Every structure is written in structure tokens, then in C-alpha cells.
């Protein structure tokens, strides 16, 4: 068994794709409209789906926003230079909501950013 993908519901698919591909550097792996169900699925990631886990962005055509609730935590992405990555994200218009630094009660260097729908993404220094 292996983890295939995590799904996020997004209010504006074009805006989310711009964030995940432009700011986060992922690739659009596939996209398909389902007119009968009035939704679109877009899969983004750093590698092919056959090689690793990806993110499924689900856009329900009749919904432009969602209440995130408090059960979902975040997505985590490992990075080589967290300070440069946060600087690039900020310069590209991304929202860094926790600057890089050691995690509370530990020494791992982390930062948090937010996607256009408010989902949190933890960056972890390799």
C-alpha cells in the first residue's frame, strides 16, 4: 500500500492552480471536467502519480468557498533551504504566516504558509 493523494476542495481552481504550480513549483499532472457532476479534478505534485503522493484539487462548480473547520491540520513539504523558499514564496505573492525557525519544544526548522483557500502548508527544513 501507499498514499496516493490528498484532496482539497478549492473555491477558484485557476487561482489554486496558479498558487500550487507558480508559487509552490508543482506541476499540473492531469485535469478533468465532470459536467454531469458539475465539478473538476486537477492533480498537482512534484513527481508523477506513479512515483509519489500528489494533491487532488476538487472544484465544485457551484461552490466558491468552504468553511475549513478545525479537524484538518496541514500539508507538509520538505525543502532544502527554508529561508530561500519562504523569500521566494513571499516575493511571488504567497502568504508566509509563520516565519522559519525552530519548532516549539524542538530543533526542527519549520515555517507555515497559506494557500488561496486558507489551507496551511508546513515547510520543513531537510
- Note whether 50 and 96 are same-domain residues: no
| Integer Cα distance of 31 and 57 in angstroms | 9
Residue 50: the pLDDT is 96
- Note whether 54 and 22 are same-domain residues: yes
The CATH number for 15's domain is: 3.10.180.10
Catalytic site positions: 122
- Note whether 51 and 90 are same-domain residues: no
Domain-located, residue 100: yes
Domain-located, residue 98: yes
- Note whether 53 and 88 are same-domain residues: no
Give the other-Cβ count within 10 Å of 44's Cβ.
22
| Integer Cα distance of 115 and 123 in angstroms | 13
- Note whether 9 and 56 are same-domain residues: yes
Global pTM reads 0.92
Percentage helix, strand, coil for the chain under 3-state DSSP, each rounded to 5: 15, 40, 40
Domain-located, residue 66: no
Residue 71: the pLDDT is 86
pLDDT along the chain (126 residues), means of 10: 95 98 98 98 97 97 92 95 98 97 95 97 97
Domain-located, residue 67: no
- Note whether 38 and 82 are same-domain residues: no
Question: Which structural domain range is residue 23 located in?
Answer: 5-60
Amino acid at each position: 500500500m501507499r498514499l496516493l493523494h490528498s484532496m482539497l476542495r478549492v473555491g477558484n481552481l485557476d487561482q489554486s492552480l496558479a498558487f500550487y504550480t507558480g508559487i509552490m513549483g508543482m506541476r499540473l499532472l492531469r485535469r478533468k471536467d465532470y459536467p454531469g457532476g458539475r465539478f473538476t479534478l486537477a492533480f498537482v505534485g512534484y513527481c508523477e502519480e506513479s512515483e509519489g503522493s500528489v494533491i487532488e484539487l476538487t472544484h465544485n462548480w457551484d461552490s466558491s468557498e468552504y468553511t475549513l473547520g478545525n479537524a484538518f491540520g496541514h500539508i507538509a513539504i520538505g525543502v532544502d533551504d527554508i529561508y530561500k523558499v519562504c523569500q521566494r514564496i513571499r516575493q511571488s505573492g504567497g502568504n508566509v504566516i509563520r516565519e522559519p525557525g525552530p519548532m516549539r519544544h524542538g530543533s526542527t526548522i519549520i515555517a507555515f504558509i497559506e494557500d488561496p483557500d486558507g489551507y496551511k502548508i508546513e515547510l520543513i527544513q531537510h
